[in-house]
Structure 1
Amino acid sequence: MSACPKHYVANDSETERYSVDVQVSDRALRELYLYPFERAVEAGAWMIMDSYNGVNGAAMSDNPLLAEPLKGEWGFDGVVVSDWGGVRSTAAAAGGTDLCMPGPPMLWGEPLLEAVRNGEIDESAIDEKVRRILRFATRVGALDGIPWPTLFFTENHARNVVRRLTTESMVLVRNDGTLPLRTGTAVAVLGPSAAEPRIMGGGSATVIPTHVSTPLAGLRAVLPVTHTPGVRLIEGLIPAPAELVTDPEIGTPGVRVRYFDGETEIGSRHRGSAHLVLLGDELATRATHMDMHARLRADVAGDWQLGFGGTGRVRLAIDGTEVIDENVTDAAGDPVAALMEPPQRSVTRSLTSGQQVDIRITIDVPEALPGLGVLLAFLLGIVRPQRPKDEEFTAAVELARNAEVAVVLVGTSEKIESEGADRTSLRLPDRQDELVAAVAAVNPRTIVVVNSGAPVEMPWRDDVAAVLLTWFPGQEFGDALANVLTGVVEPGGRLPTTWPATIADVPVLNTTPQQGVLEYTEDIHIGYRAWLRAGTEPAYPFGHGLGYTTWTSSDLRVSGRTASLTVTNTGNRTGKQVFQAYLSRPDSTIDRPIKWLAGFTAITLAAGQSRTIEIPLPRRAFEHWTSKGWATEPGSFNLHVGTSVADLPHTVTMN
């Protein structure tokens, strides 16, 4: 297995993403946009994916930046792979991309062979690509006769690791003392993300886990809970949860997927998820059609929507009766969207609580694509019974009024945060802001959990007891959230971005290409640097994050390029803090940020414990890029240390 950092480089806008040309200075490229890839190469990445966009006039699939600094100066000896469809021509094979995806036949198959024979592309360029691909195959153990260690781990071990990483990533940005919750606290769990959370990004970031712990399930396991969403964010079907569907062949949670060649069954598999995505499935290449079969158990009485997502000829049978037989097409004409979010069809059935229904979806298998095999996605989907919207909203407010604590889970949808499009607003969709405000008005102990991948406006933030940012936290979301809210563990994250009070405050806002060009006019002043330059106070600054204990720090010293600081956990429980170091150079003769991050160190201490910590300050933090390479401006730098870019109580001068 190999890490594959992506997308190299300056792939920061999804508007016109296949064709936009990013115009950016060499200094900004070197100091900011290339730097993460430089670190990844130093850490030993074996593959890097280049991006769709161009940079300074050349498409990234054959941009000179693939040669220098990537393969030359940095010494990257792995494989550069294109994004799917990112290679535009056969001639691009003379450049730095080594592997054309989703496969070589169209541009790098026979056309490339002919170009080499005609002398249009030097054969040595192809030899170099082959060497890199074979080296990669050797590293991942894909070549016969080369021993490679096998890693063994149990499902419980994997889930424990994921759960720990999830709690480490959560960022508590506000807490009036309501958190952590004591055992037995009666909680109203509200909001659209409680039962239907976003656990990952949309598009190519989507994978289908066999198990998902929802916030509702996680909190119900440790606290007395009442629940209603108040607002429903997801429109349409959701994949039937594993706890509601049973594989009729073996009786365990999940579905049965069968492959047919005509009338002959050629394969059968159990799947833990009712959402199936096939990319090059070997058995599917021999099948004419497939079916997904399950027994659904209604957990509440009412009108259920039962249906499917998929394209091509799809049939739906309920209790043995066919209710839909349709040739479904994707109106948008986007094959990637059709794969990740296939069109849906459904019927309504009135079910009693506990009633079981037999559901079978049959879908024709499309022809295999050269170099790719069969690409197919389909799902068995449901929508639970719902109250009218206003009635549902009112019910949520009443639950909050009668609970000790209200936990409101809000967030974005896959249509808002996904590859292929940029957001046009930072507001939470639908009536979520209204829901939080209404709940906070009747219960001062309101905790808001924000389930989004990037900043959103939070106009109610000063009116609630606590705000916890969870990002897209993965399959262990619910159990991890329960551990954080009840104080089993602290939220361990600190803000990697600046969160604005309103979109009008954002200093770098216009990212729409003009006539196919996107100019990075802000140059090196991005993120928190741009906020410092604008002088606008955000809702929550870069680096901010709270825990469940208190800290003091003192005695900042510098020796060489290492800062040291004495820190003490002054609270009554073990806790974590992240101490951050920033540099400034007010008298600089070159354009610089007001402050810039130079290093940080995380420390965990028991209650009452003190320790002297060190923060390494890399040489690069003092350097700037010039036409002649890296340079250090002689003279003194100010070093500032604290717990966010806006909380830096310690300053010393470094010469």
Structure 2
Amino acid sequence: MADVEHLLGELDLAEKVSLLAGQDFWSLPAIERIGLRSLVMSDGPIGVRGIGWAPDDPSVALPSPTALAAAWDPELAETAGLLLGQEARRKGVHVLLGPTVNLQRTPLGGRHFECYSEDPLLSGEIAVGFVRGVQRHGVGTTVKHLVGNDFETDRMEVDVRIGERALREIYLAPFERVVEAGGWGVMSAYNGVNGSPMAANGRLQDEVLKGEWGFDGVVVSDWRAARSTVGSALGGLDIAMPQLENPWGEKLIAAVKAGEVPEEAINQKVRRVLLLALRVGALGTEAAPEEDELDGEQVAHEVAARSFVLVRNENWTLPLEPAGLTKVAVIGALAMDARVLGGGSAQVSPPHTVSPLDGLRRALSGVDVEYAVGADPRPFLPALHSPTRVTIGTHEFEVEPAAVRWIGSLPGGLPMESVDGLRLETTVTPAESGEHTFAVSGFGTFRLKINGEVRYEGTLHPPGTGRADLLLSPREQRVTAVLRAGEPVSIVLEQTIVPGLAHSVATTLGHRPPSPDEDGLIAEAVALAAESDVAVVVVGTTEQVESEGFDRTSLALPGRQDELVARVAAANPRTIVVVNAGSPVLMPWAGEVAATLLTWFPGQEGGAALADVLLGAAEPGGRLPTTWPRREKDCPVLEITPRDGVVAYDEGVFVGYRGWLRAGQKPLYAFGHGLGYTTWHYDEIAVTATEAVVTLTNAGGRAGREVVQVYVGPAGADRDRPERWLAGFANVSAHPDETVTVRIPLPPRTWQIWDDGWTTVPGDYRVIAAHALDDERLESTVTIS
């Protein structure tokens, strides 16, 4: 701290305050005379964007955070973190804005794909692994969003009312675990908690986070979450982001001079910023990266395969035997145009994506793999798959498919004021004759020319449209053109950018070839399935259903996908359904199909990993990190609509599976559920107050991996406590007939509740070794005094 104190003394008030607010969208200013370089931040739950979103500088796209949690493996999470730390260093980023440890309190949460789990212990342990991996590269993490940002509706204004016990035992617990493990940053949420906006919540940010927990890192606001000058300055916030609509700067200087904010409060914030700069190599010596460089494709592939959850496998339908296949039907719009990542701040531009269709065709080179759309749930046309030249100002680059998107700095490092438009240009040669549909989506004024003829000219967003609506709710305009197969067609899309919004662009040139109507598409898929050895149907959600910025209105799959699955399953008893969704969906056909595999948003290598799992080259390694309901009305917590600006967490600690157990409802698939390609026999359990020792044997015919889950609960009835809760877990691997033993720690918090402090509750406890919450294998009793 001596160096920090010396440097602090070198700064005047204006310089100090300048270090506490964004100088642009992603960074803090440099002060060269003290050797401080600009601190750069970036979104990054599944990849590292960098200071823009430039498609000419792609980012490795890992599977979604729900997928990472589904692997139940902190070491794998650390590997993912190591890769993203490496990516951050490559892109000149010092601080990664993640991980997200808000809880999946209700399955309607639209951003739950970015959160790990409904359980605080699983969320915390996966987050700790991720944070350790990133920070090994000298890149800071920012665990988010402290606290109660468990839904999107009215997130900027809503006040979340959480009782103290639930706050401590459930919602703060994963944040506390990350702080305990040495995380360097925390992000303050948009919402309020118990009457105070989080960016100005001194009780939680100062008293609890910095005081009780001893957190020595920085608290940064979510973007535009800091809305008061004095309140946020006195409420524990250290950095207000971004520059846009920032309440600090000259206003904070004036507040200090007026005596409303003590200068020592400013000094405390600057100390934390300087310490962060030292840690990430932006002050003095640059941080040394890890020596061993990871292969991004390999890590993305491994995480995907390890995350897939096989929830149904009747008569050992999977794995498929390639030698027994002659014709495979691959069905579903998402089989060809896979949704590999969620919407909002979790988006990056990957170098490529492997779709399920691509992955299976590569893996089954000697098999006839045919495709049918079946049902298309997407309200917007997919981007045209054609090499497309993009011109913005004096900078040119190529993309495929025809979509460009960025937030922050412009591609090529162009100055913001030099750009007022962009141009996409490509030539396509249709494979079939007929009426082709093209679409423009984005915000701004557009002109679409097909073979030199203007086919659309207009503005998709009216003047005065809000920034959030521009980014999260784009519009689309479609036109048709009759084209002939084999004849090249020139396509040019010109866009005039909304004044002042060159830093935010999301433009897509969409395309759909001639096709039957909805009934015809389903009929084609059913016919293909009937004549194939096996049918693989890929269904899922769209960006208009699961994304940052809004919550879901239903858990049903959009469009006619449920009908598609039911009709294909009726035509082919060997129907395998792949669910491409970031969080729970309803599956009314669950008992009618041979196998169901959940692949979350699987990242850029998802299709390759899927082929490996379906064909047995890899075992589906995932277990559910959240409960999947049979019906919406069965969920113990569902609605999230604020009433008079408030959402009350009246269920207390009975969140997720804790609530399911209390209600006595049986879900479709329980927390922790997941099948592998072998069977496990649990042999013995020995328990003390500090650990559970479990011995088990791989009783199947192939090597496999098991997630041993330990649950504890009061031996007698206790209305104030859940029936049981996750106390620990561990991954084990074994060959056929091999016996392994695993030790799972049971820390003191296992037996404690919050009652004006952490208090051990004495008595007898059941300690259960389980394959899943509803699949108990061994049990013992321990007495806690």
- TM-score normalised by the chain length of structure 2: 0.77
Paired residues in the alignment total 633
Matched, 1:441 2:570: yes
User: Which amino acid in 2 is paired with 1:429?
Assistant: P
Q: Secondary structure at the match of 1:416?
A: coil
Which structure 2 residue ranges, 5 or more long, are not aligned?
A: 1-138
Matched, 1:62 2:195: no
Alpha-carbon deviations, 1:101-139, whole Å to 9, x = none?
A: 222664112222211221111222222222222322332
Question: Structure 2 matches for 1:522-541, cutoff 5 A?
Answer: 522-541=651-670
In structure 2, the residue matched to 1:111 is 251
Deviation for aligned residue 1:311: 2.2
RMSD over aligned CA atoms reads 2.1
User: Which amino acid in 2 is paired with 1:408?
Assistant: V
- Aligned counterpart in structure 2 of residue 508 of structure 1, from 637, 646, 662: 637
Question: Structure 2 matches for 1:191-590, cutoff 5 A?
Answer: 191-223=332-364, 224-241=368-385, 245-246=386-387, 255-260=388-393, 266-271=394-399, 274-278=402-406, 279-281=408-410, 282-285=413-416, 286-330=418-462, 333-368=465-500, 374-587=503-716
Alpha-carbon deviations, 1:436-455, whole Å to 9, x = none?
A: 11111111111111111111
Deviation for aligned residue 1:366: 4.3
Q: Residues 378, 510 of structure 1: CA spacing in aligned structure 2 closer, same or farther, 3 A cutoff?
A: closer
Matched, 1:49 2:163: no
- Asked if 1 retains the 8 angstrom alpha-carbon contact of 2:435 and 2:513, the reply is yes
User: Which amino acid in 2 is paired with 1:268?
Assistant: E
User: Which amino acid in 2 is paired with 1:99?
Assistant: I
Matched, 1:138 2:278: yes
Alpha-carbon deviations, 1:565-596, whole Å to 9, x = none?
A: 22111111110111111111143767110011
Alpha-carbon deviations, 1:225-271, whole Å to 9, x = none?
A: 11112111112222223xxx22xxxxxxxx332233xxxxx322344
In structure 1, the residue matched to 2:267 is 127
Question: Residues of 1 paired with 2:547 and 2:291: CA distance?
Answer: 33
In structure 2, the residue matched to 1:159 is 297
User: Which amino acid in 1 is paired with 2:278?
Assistant: T
Question: Residues of 2 paired with 1:283 and 1:600: CA distance?
Answer: 50
- Aligned counterpart in structure 1 of residue 176 of structure 2, from 13, 38, 57: 38
The answer to which of 518-527 and 611-620 deviates more is 611-620
In structure 1, the residue matched to 2:239 is 99
Deviation for aligned residue 1:492: 0.7
- Asked if 2 retains the 8 angstrom alpha-carbon contact of 1:259 and 1:284, the reply is no
Alpha-carbon deviations, 1:448-488, whole Å to 9, x = none?
A: 11111111111111111111111111111111111111111
Matched, 1:619 2:748: yes
Which structure 1 residue ranges, 5 or more long, are not aligned?
A: 247-254, 261-265
Alpha-carbon deviations, 1:492-516, whole Å to 9, x = none?
A: 1101111111112111223322211
In structure 1, the residue matched to 2:310 is 172
- Asked if 2 retains the 8 angstrom alpha-carbon contact of 1:203 and 1:336, the reply is no
Higher helix share: 2
Deviation for aligned residue 1:385: 2.5
Alpha-carbon deviations, 1:42-63, whole Å to 9, x = none?
A: 2332222111111111011111
- Aligned counterpart in structure 1 of residue 759 of structure 2, from 631, 634, 647: 631
Q: Secondary structure at the match of 1:448?
A: strand
Q: Secondary structure at the match of 2:176?
A: helix
- Asked if 2 retains the 8 angstrom alpha-carbon contact of 1:210 and 1:272, the reply is no
Question: Residues of 1 paired with 2:455 and 2:244: CA distance?
Answer: 42
Q: Residues 510, 268 of structure 1: CA spacing in aligned structure 2 closer, same or farther, 3 A cutoff?
A: closer
User: Which amino acid in 2 is paired with 1:93?
Assistant: A
Q: Residues 272, 75 of structure 1: CA spacing in aligned structure 2 closer, same or farther, 3 A cutoff?
A: farther
In structure 1, the residue matched to 2:736 is 607
Question: Residues of 1 paired with 2:647 and 2:746: CA distance?
Answer: 33
User: Which amino acid in 1 is paired with 2:704?
Assistant: G
Q: Residues 394, 590 of structure 1: CA spacing in aligned structure 2 closer, same or farther, 3 A cutoff?
A: closer
- Asked if 2 retains the 8 angstrom alpha-carbon contact of 1:340 and 1:377, the reply is no
Deviation for aligned residue 1:332: 9.2
Question: Residues of 1 paired with 2:330 and 2:651: CA distance?
Answer: 42
Question: Residues of 2 paired with 1:561 and 1:352: CA distance?
Answer: 73
In structure 2, the residue matched to 1:653 is 781
User: Which amino acid in 2 is paired with 1:40?
Assistant: V
Question: Residues of 2 paired with 1:315 and 1:141: CA distance?
Answer: 46
Q: Secondary structure at the match of 1:129?
A: helix
Provide the identity percentage.
Answer: 45
- Asked if 2 retains the 8 angstrom alpha-carbon contact of 1:284 and 1:365, the reply is no
Deviation for aligned residue 1:3: 2.3
- Asked if 2 retains the 8 angstrom alpha-carbon contact of 1:284 and 1:374, the reply is no
The answer to which of 115-124 and 300-309 deviates more is 300-309
User: Which amino acid in 1 is paired with 2:532?
Assistant: A
- Asked if 1 retains the 8 angstrom alpha-carbon contact of 2:144 and 2:188, the reply is yes
- Aligned counterpart in structure 2 of residue 640 of structure 1, from 768, 772, 779: 768
- Asked if 1 retains the 8 angstrom alpha-carbon contact of 2:682 and 2:777, the reply is no
Question: Residues of 1 paired with 2:184 and 2:400: CA distance?
Answer: 32
Question: Residues of 2 paired with 1:417 and 1:507: CA distance?
Answer: 21
Question: Residues of 1 paired with 2:264 and 2:252: CA distance?
Answer: 13
Q: Secondary structure at the match of 2:474?
A: coil
Question: Residues of 1 paired with 2:698 and 2:525: CA distance?
Answer: 39
Alpha-carbon deviations, 1:311-331, whole Å to 9, x = none?
A: 223222333444333233258
- Asked if 1 retains the 8 angstrom alpha-carbon contact of 2:240 and 2:246, the reply is no
- Asked if 2 retains the 8 angstrom alpha-carbon contact of 1:304 and 1:385, the reply is yes
User: Which amino acid in 1 is paired with 2:380?
Assistant: G
Question: Residues of 1 paired with 2:751 and 2:577: CA distance?
Answer: 40
Q: Residues 366, 555 of structure 1: CA spacing in aligned structure 2 closer, same or farther, 3 A cutoff?
A: same
Alpha-carbon deviations, 1:162-181, whole Å to 9, x = none?
A: 01001111100110111011
In structure 1, the residue matched to 2:140 is 2
Matched, 1:147 2:286: yes
Alpha-carbon deviations, 1:204-236, whole Å to 9, x = none?
A: 222222311111111121233111121111122
User: Which amino acid in 2 is paired with 1:128?
Assistant: Q
Question: Residues of 2 paired with 1:393 and 1:340: CA distance?
Answer: 30
Question: Residues of 1 paired with 2:207 and 2:533: CA distance?
Answer: 60
- Asked if 2 retains the 8 angstrom alpha-carbon contact of 1:366 and 1:374, the reply is no
- Asked if 2 retains the 8 angstrom alpha-carbon contact of 1:319 and 1:359, the reply is yes
Question: Residues of 2 paired with 1:289 and 1:511: CA distance?
Answer: 40
Deviation for aligned residue 1:607: 1.7
Q: Secondary structure at the match of 1:515?
A: coil
Alpha-carbon deviations, 1:522-557, whole Å to 9, x = none?
A: 101111111111111111111110000111011211
- TM-score normalised by the chain length of structure 1: 0.92
User: Which amino acid in 1 is paired with 2:647?
Assistant: L
